[in-house]
Amino acid sequence: MTGRLGSSGARTAATVLTPAVVGAAAHIVPAVTWIPAVRRCCFPRLAGMGRPDHVALTFDDGPDPASTPLFLDALDALGVKATFFLLGSSVVQHPSLALETVRRGHELGVHGWTHERPWLPTPGADARLVRRTAGLLHDLTGRCPCWYRPPYGILTSGRWAAARAAGLRCVLWTAWGRDWTSVATPASVVTTVAADLRGGGTVLLHDTDRVSAPECWRAALAALPEIVSACRAAGLTVGPLAEHWAESTGMR
């Protein structure tokens, strides 16, 4: 009798446990795309691979009145447009800065409402907050955003579904500057970006230190001219994601 009860209890536990395990796996399996080699090889469009004569320049985590205006000025001086992935909570605080970013010819994407890690499955909250951010950007600018990049680049099933429901396309990156760290320098940002920079790639930088090391944005800002110059020296145009999958015009 004891043996039978033990066996039945084990089966019951397995029955309860299996849906939880399956649910957790379904939630986190898409996060394997965080690994650069995996997404470049298996999911090139998710990685941000576009037309071979173009490099997409993107910035995450803004807007921030302490730093974003300096990036806008630097991009003006370089004659470059970019895509800024914004946090809804920051846009609410600084709507005029989001509008100024658009006024200067840049593109806005959705980075979520806050910058949280997705430890637990929360598909309902994911859908609500992505939709809320996308709606905020549309109401503010009159333009529907096209792109979604999840915080930390961690794409879960809930975040993927939320982006699709909001009519957004998920885009990660092929090259980054590791510019969010306390040890980042202009030289380290340039070197790190250059290691993976190719035609058709998407570069990730940050125009704020709001969710990273204090003042780290200064390294990215100082590195910008050299990154753009290197691209142009290689015969590549630099611009926003909106131009990244367009037909090549042959213009530099």
In this model, does residue 36 exceed pLDDT 70?
yes
Average pLDDT, rounded, for the chain: 88
**pLDDT value, residue 87:** 98
Is 60 tagged catalytic?
yes
Tokens 């029955």 -> residue: 15
In this model, does residue 252 exceed pLDDT 50?
no
**pTM (2 d.p.):** 0.86
In this model, does residue 104 exceed pLDDT 50?
yes
In this model, does residue 249 exceed pLDDT 50?
no
Which position among 54, 60, 106, 244 bears the catalytic label? 60
- CA nearest neighbour of 58 among 9, 13, 106: 106
Domain ranges across the chain? 30-243
**pLDDT value, residue 28:** 62
- In angstroms, rounded to a whole number, what is the distance separating the alpha carbons of residues 156 and 77? 38
* Range with lowest mean pLDDT among 11-15, 71-75, 134-138: 11-15
**pLDDT value, residue 247:** 57
List, as one string, the DSSP characters of 91-136: HHH-HHHHHHHHHTT-EEEE--SS-----S--HHHHHHHHHHHHHH
Average pLDDT over every residue of 164-183: 96
- In angstroms, rounded to a whole number, what is the distance separating the alpha carbons of residues 205 and 178? 8
Structure confidence at residue 35 as a pLDDT band (50, 70, 90): confident
- In angstroms, rounded to a whole number, what is the distance separating the alpha carbons of residues 69 and 97? 8
Is 206 tagged catalytic?
yes
CA distance to 14, 57, 114, 144, per residue, from 152 (Å): 33, 17, 11, 23
Average pLDDT over every residue of 77-101: 98
* Range with lowest mean pLDDT among 117-121, 173-177, 182-186: 117-121
Which position among 126, 206, 209, 244 bears the catalytic label? 206
Domain at 30-243, CATH from 3.40.50.300, 1.20.1090.10, 3.20.20.370, 2.60.40.650: 3.20.20.370
To the nearest 5 percent, what fractions of the chain are helix, strand and coil? Answer: 50, 10, 35
**pLDDT value, residue 94:** 98
Structure confidence at residue 111 as a pLDDT band (50, 70, 90): very high
Residue 25 main-chain phi, psi, to 5 deg: -65, -45
